[in-house]
Amino acid sequence: MEKRGYAPDFVSAETLAYRLDCSRSTIDSYVKGGLLPKPIMLGNLVRWDFAAVRAHIQAQTVLVQEDDDFLKALGNGAAKEA
């Protein structure tokens, strides 16, 4: 397989796991739990649009921060370590 200077836009589960620094089984669990979007079919290939994955994660991160007082305080520079 040739090496490229850029990451693919549509990635396999294995590549997605690599890019997110987790295991392949974590990808399956996160998709089932709604933490990651479902893959799409490109011909006979199961792939994730990595831009959509990033957007999905970013949207969830904002939701978590809005619901978490500590993370809100971190964003305002007001949180202090115990």
**Residue tagged 């997605």 (tokens):** 16
The whole-angstrom separation of Cα 59 and Cα 73 is 19
Reported as a pLDDT band with limits 50, 70 and 90, residue 61 is: confident
The DSSP bridge partners found for residue 11 are: 48
Reported as a pLDDT band with limits 50, 70 and 90, residue 80 is: low
Residue 73, sorted as left (phi over 0), alpha (psi -120 to 50) or beta, turns out to be alpha
Q: What is the pLDDT of residues 10-46, one digit of tens each?
A: 999 999 999 999 999 999 999 999 999 999 999 999 9
Q: Which two tokens stand for residue 74?
A: 């971190």
